[in-house]
Amino acid sequence: MTQLTISPVTRIEGHAQVRIELDDAGEVAGAHFNVVELRGFEKFLLGAAVEEAPRITPRICGICPTSHHLAAAAACDQIFGAAPPQTGKQLRDLLLAGQFIHSHALHFFMLAAPDFLLGDAPAAERNVLGLARHSPEIAKKAIEVRKLGQRITEAVGGKPIHPSNAIPGGMSMPLSEERRQTLLTSAQDGLAIAREGWETARSLMDGLDTSFGAVETSFMGMAQNGVHALSGGEVKILGPDGRETASFTGAGYLNHIEEYSQDWSYLKFCRLAGGNAYRVGPLARLNIAESMGTPEADAALAEYRGAFGRVVQAPLAYNIARYIEFLSACERAVALLEDPGITGADIRTPVEGVAANRGVGIIEAPRGTLIHDYTVDGDGMIEKCNLIVATCQNNYAMDRGVEDVARKVIKGGELTEEGSNKIEMVIRAYDPCISCATHAIGRMPMRIEVVRRTGNGCEVLDVTEVN
């Protein structure tokens, strides 16, 4: 057999490649989405004080640190028996809206848009710099609205990259009236950009290839009374036909999700109990929700469903679903900042000590359902840790989508540059976050060294072999 390799997969977060096996006739015998990164945060967290988890886990990723910050904080709330007061919840909701604005704007305009707006341009031009030359106004507005997400993260979370203000029981710092006013103006400007950009996103629905990377799965995502939700709702599971088959909260995820590994990747896989594949993220959430809960996003959702139907399986529709969520996040940010009550001082419930030995925080991250599960001892030190991230849950669909597209574009053993990009497009549609997703399960040995810098180099203080 002959092997073709696409390395690296471009315009995604992290490092990955595609390996394609050809038979003697030059036809595709098999193909896999292959991830060779290994990050061991589930091991690093063992022995740490659980209240440190909201500060440690944002370092998993520089693109979606807020999601890990808030999922870890939600787990801590349960362990310390301290639910945040209303103002604390509002600040967390605003922080999460900022995460969605930043992440979705980044992906749609800078990672996905070059494929659609630049057509069949050469690879050297099919990128964010090429987009800036081709459509400078779109590029400028994309940077401006992404900046809004970062400003919210800095003002509410304390830092623009790795937020730290969400703590057990709520938030550590209130939002000042001056900052509320400044953020509100920026959020209104951002909403105007998002509203204008819908014209570009809407155009992607015309002629979209619904068979591209085709895979039929179930779906998982959060909703609250039928309304699209990012936190505080039930996680629902829909079958491929759109019928709800189950729902859960907290530790109930163990009754529905199974994790497993394959020997070609350090990226975990997930499936439903019983073996069925499922997907998470914007496409899944829009399949699950009856409405977005914000007027302009609801109008966009109606157009989207008019084009594709009530339950959508097409991977490329992720890009449009993502934009609808981006529009909704801008609307939610404006609504939250229009309420002067968000500057209130009642932002945290006092914590008295460990109230439960386990906490499971579940939120919706931009890429899909995110689960942080911590078990602690009586002093609150982490004894067990499990993180289930969106990219793991979409891994099967990406892997099968890669093979589907490879079979369509490779003929006679030849893979053109255009064909290579089409294979990458199906991966980009899921907006995978490799840094978030590469956590070891099964037999993946790892050596952890604790070192101290000395005048002559480094001295090894401790070595741990993890099998």
Sequence ranges of the binding site: 42, 61, 64, 387, 433, 436, 439
The C-alpha R_g of the chain, in whole angstroms, comes to 22
The amino acid sitting at 271 is R
Can you say which residues are annotated as belonging to the binding site for Ni(2+)? 61, 64, 433
**E strand intervals along 195-337:** 218-224, 227-228, 234-238, 244-248, 257-260, 269-272, 278-279
Cβ-based neighbours of 367, under 8 Å, separated by 6 or more:
64, 103, 280, 281, 389, 390, 391, 394, 430, 431, 432, 433, 436
Instruction: Report the 10 Å Cβ neighbour count for 99.
Output: 29
Q: What span, in angstroms and rounded, lies between the C-alpha atoms of 97 and 259?
A: 29
Q: What span, in angstroms and rounded, lies between the C-alpha atoms of 176 and 180?
A: 6
Can you say which residues are annotated as belonging to the binding site for Mg(2+)? 42, 387, 439
Closest CA to 354 of 385, 373, 381, 372: 381
Ranges of H-type helices in 289-370: 295-308, 317-338
Q: What span, in angstroms and rounded, lies between the C-alpha atoms of 45 and 10?
A: 30
CA angle 97, 195, 292 (to 5 degrees): 50
Six token digits for residue 328:
């909704």
Task: Identify how many contiguous H helices and E strands the chain contains and give both numbers.
Answer: 15, 17
CA atoms within 13 Å, Cβ hemisphere of 308:
29
| CA 248 to chain CA centroid, nearest Å | 20
- Length of the chain counted residue by residue: 467
Six token digits for residue 428:
């980009």
Six token digits for residue 207:
């002629």
CA atoms within 13 Å, Cβ hemisphere of 409:
23
The amino acid sitting at 299 is A
Can you say which residues are annotated as belonging to the binding site for Fe cation? 64, 436
The string of DSSP letters for 110-128 reads IIIHHHHHSTT--TTTSSH
β-pair partners for 5: 19
Q: What span, in angstroms and rounded, lies between the C-alpha atoms of 66 and 102?
A: 11
Residue 108 DSSP class: I
Q: What span, in angstroms and rounded, lies between the C-alpha atoms of 107 and 282?
A: 12
